[in-house]
Structures are given as C-alpha cells and as structure tokens.
Amino acid sequence: MQHTEEIKTYELEKQGLSQSFVYKTMQQIALENDGQSDEPHRHNYYTVILASKVQGWHAIDFVKYPFESPCVFFVSPGQVHQVVTLGVPEGYVFLFTEDFLIQNTVNQRLIADLNLFRNYGETPPLELSDRQLKSLISFSEMIGSTYELSERHKYEKLGALVKLFLLECSEFCTLPTIDDGHSQGAESMLRKFRQLVDESYKTEHKVGFYAESLHVTPGHLNKSVKRFTGRNAKEFIQKRITTEAKRMGLYSELSSKEIGFELGFEDPAHFSTFFKNCTGLSFTEFRAKHARA
C-alpha cells in the first residue's frame, strides 16, 4: 500500500455507536479484530488506553512508543495513531466525544488544564507504578460495570468516573508549572494560545500575530509557552504546521507544492526550506522514509 492512501477517520456515529461514550477491554478489541492490527487512523473523539499488560507498540503522529510497562495513553481528536499488539493484550479503552463531556458536566477547560491530551507533537504515555496501576484498574472496572447498566443516570455516573480517572492520572504526572505567582493568568493565556494556533496555523505563522491577539509581547508569549510546554511559541507553531504537513504527506495524494499552499506557503521553496529546517529531512525524504509497503 502506498503512502498516498487517504487516512481512515473513525466517527462514533458511523460505527453504529449511537452513544457518545464507549468502553471496551483491549482483549475484546483484539478478539473483534481477529488479532489483526488496524492501519494508522484518526478519530473524531478522545481515546484513553490503559495498557496493564501488553506487548507491542503504539504510534502517535509518527512517534512509536513500545508497551514496555503499564501505562496510559491519551489520544486527542485528529491525531493519527496505530496500536500493534502481540498475543492477548490486557487493558481498557475509553472513547468519548466532546458532547459527552458537555452533557455530563465535565468542563472542557478541565481537559485543557490537566494537560494529558495533546493535539499534536510528542504524546508519550503516562508510566504507572504498581500502586497507580491498581488504582486505575479499579476505576476502569467501575466504568465497565456502569457502562453495562441501563439505568436513567448511567451517563452522568460515567462522566463522574471518567473525571475521577483523569484527575487521578493528573496526580501521577510531573508537569511544568509557573512559579512567578501568576500561574492562573499564564494558564489561561496558554489555553487561549493553543486554541488560536489550532484555528489559525494554516494562515498565521508568526508569533507576533498570536501575541497581539492575546495582548502580550512576543517575548512574554515565548517565555510563558516554554515554561508550560518545553518549547517556545515559535517552535509550538512550527510543530503544529509540520505535524499537519506530515499527516497530509502520508495520507493524501497532494504534492509538496499543494500541501505547502494548503498550509499558507505561497512559495513552494519556502515550504520546503521550512519543513527541512524544522524536521531535519526534506519533504521527499520524509515521505520516502515513512512510505508503507
């Protein structure tokens, strides 16, 4: 199969799943697929994978993470991923939409504040100790038991349990923090910056645009973003653009020139230079390296 095949996008509604939340065990998924791994694909919903005992690997946006120990993966809507398992995996998978969060009083802001789900770039798993794994398995089994119920408040209960699961995961994380006494304002700015980048990255590539929109200086925006994410605002914007370029490069038939134009580069040479400077590979080299046989 060539790299120009369109990427498959899964939507809960189109899978015959009328609800906005789905629970499955990894063993159940393996049996449904006859042990065969899926092709790289993306979802229009959030995915949480608690891998308690799994052999294989999980690739997210072109980065491959082996299942070396118990861990949790958080995949955002739109990310390209593929799970490959060997033998019979043990673990749990939750799928839920933004509507599920809204309808069951899980504030969308909480999802952003926890910093577990990332829209692009590196998305490493949260590695778990035995104690942490035991705690999350307990939550997962409660979610599974509740999912089988048919009572009136089933989804409200699921929403509460998912919120507790995510909060517990957040407690296990060591995330960058602001230590200058202005963390609340900085977090709010970062949240707005991320939203702006997702809305405007195809047309706006300069830090100045985002800084002006947020009423701060470019220098202040660069420093604040780096404290939370490990990369400055310019690098953050570049990562968003190159990730989308990679997705389009592998899963569409568009040429490098067409992809560059889609991403706001009127000059093909400018796009080629930008991509190589950011990734270390020319666009042609990237496509050849990741082409699927």
Domain boundaries, the chain: 8-171, 183-290
At the topology level, CATH places domain 8-171 in Jelly Rolls (2.60.120)
Picking from 6-15, 172-181, 199-208, 226-235, which range would have the lowest pLDDT averaged per residue?
172-181
50 pLDDT above the threshold of 80:
yes
6 pLDDT above the threshold of 90:
no
**Residues facing residue 96 across a β-bridge:** 21, 46
What is the rounded CA–CA span in Å between residue 146 and residue 151? 9
175 pLDDT above the threshold of 50:
no
Confidence of residue 176 (pLDDT cuts 50, 70, 90): very low
153 or 14: which leads in pLDDT: 153
Q: Report pLDDT for 108.
A: 65
Within 10 angstroms of residue 246's Cβ, the number of other Cβ atoms is 22
Q: Report pLDDT for 43.
A: 83
Confidence of residue 5 (pLDDT cuts 50, 70, 90): very low
Confidence of residue 105 (pLDDT cuts 50, 70, 90): confident
210 pLDDT above the threshold of 90:
yes
- The overall average pLDDT reported for the chain is 84
Confidence of residue 129 (pLDDT cuts 50, 70, 90): very high
Q: Report pLDDT for 181.
A: 42
Residues 205-225 have a mean pLDDT of 93
Picking from 10-14, 90-94, 121-125, which range would have the lowest pLDDT averaged per residue?
10-14
Picking from 50-59, 103-112, 147-156, which range would have the lowest pLDDT averaged per residue?
103-112
Structural tokens at position 206: 């300069």
Residues 258-263 have a mean pLDDT of 96
209 pLDDT above the threshold of 90:
yes
Cα torsion 27, 28, 30, 34: sign: positive
**CATH number 1.20.1070.10 given to 183-290:** no
Q: Report pLDDT for 113.
A: 66
**Residues facing residue 42 across a β-bridge:** 9
179 pLDDT above the threshold of 90:
no
Whole-number percent of the chain with pLDDT over 70:
85
Determine contact, residues 125/157, Cβ cutoff 8 Å: no
∠ at Cα 155 (151, 156), nearest 5°? 100
Q: Say what the pTM is.
A: 0.71
What is the rounded CA–CA span in Å between residue 269 and residue 291? 23
What is the rounded CA–CA span in Å between residue 260 and residue 173? 37
**Residues facing residue 81 across a β-bridge:** 41, 60
